Amino acid sequence: MIIMKGKIRIVIKGHLDKEWKDHFEGMNISYEAGSTILTCNLKDDAHLHGILEIIRDLNLTLISVNPIEDETGSIVPEFQNI
């Protein structure tokens, strides 16, 4: 099985108030051209599904989910084989 782990970047349509930070536990909220960017260190797959569920339940429009590359250009999320 492959586990998604590491830094992740989620883009949501529109401007989500910073006040929602507590709701998206441990996530950073920033903005970029009409979109909200959520970033965090992912613990595991379940963590990601939890975040996506909050987005679904608030009827936010999800634009993209991506792993973040670090300075060296390599993908940070480790795809661990267990």
Partner 1 sequence: MLLTKLHIPVHGNNIVHRPRLFELLNSGLQRKLILVSAPAGYGKTTLISYWIGQNNIPAVWLSLDKGDNDPSVFLSYIIKGIQTIRHDFGQGAFRLLNTPNSPSVESIASLLINELLSINQNVLLVLDDFHQIRNNEVLKLITYFLEHISVNTHIVILTRSDPALSLSRIRSQNQLVELRSAELGFTANDIFVLFNKKLKIGLSRDDAYVLETKTEGWIAGLQLAALSMHGRDDLSEFVRDLKGDNRYIMDYLIEEVLKIQTDGIKDFLLQTSILEQMSAPLCNTILKRSDSQVILETLENENMFVIPLDNERNWYRYHHLFAELLKQRLYSKNKELIRELHDAAGEWFKNNSMPLFAIDHAIETRNFEKSVAILGEMAEELWKTGQHATLMKYGDFLPDELIKKNTNLSLYYAWILIIAGKNQRAEQFLECAGKITNDIINHKDSSYEAVQFNKRILGKISVAFACLYAKTAFPQNTLNYCKAAMVNLTEEDSFWNSWAWYSIGWAEEVSGHISESIDAVEKALYYGKKSGSIYLITTNAYCVAYLEQRMGLYTSAYRKCSELLREYNAGDNPEISELDPGLGQIYMCIAEIECMRTDFDAAFEHIKVAYTLCRNFSNSSVKVWVRLIYSLILFGRGDFDGIMQLLVETEDIINKNTVSPSARAIYIDMKGKQLVDNNEYENAHRFFKMNGLSPEKEISFVEDRGFFSFVILLIKEGKNKEAETILSKLEIMLQGAKWIETLISVKIIYAILQKNAGDNKKAVICLLKSLELASDEGILMPFIFYYDWIKDLIPDVYKIQASEKTNIPRDLTEKLKQAIEKRNKIIRKSLKAELSTRELEVLRYLSGGLRNKEIADKLFVSIDTVKTHVRNILLKLEVDSRLRAVKKAKELGLT
The residues of the shown chain that bind partner 1, judged by CB under 8 A, are 14-17, 19-20, 22-23, 34, 36, 56-60
Which pair of tokens denotes residue 39? 């970033």
Q: Which is nearer to partner 1, 12 or 42 (CB)?
A: 12
Task: Report the relative pairing of strands 28-32 and 35-42 from DSSP bridges.
Answer: antiparallel
Q: Which is nearer to partner 1, 53 or 70 (CB)?
A: 53
- Please tell me whether residue 52 adopts helix, strand or coil conformation: helix
Q: Which is nearer to partner 1, 24 or 40 (CB)?
A: 24
Return d(Cα 70, Cα 77) in angstroms, integer.
10
Q: Closest approach of Cβ 56 to partner 1, in Å? A: 6
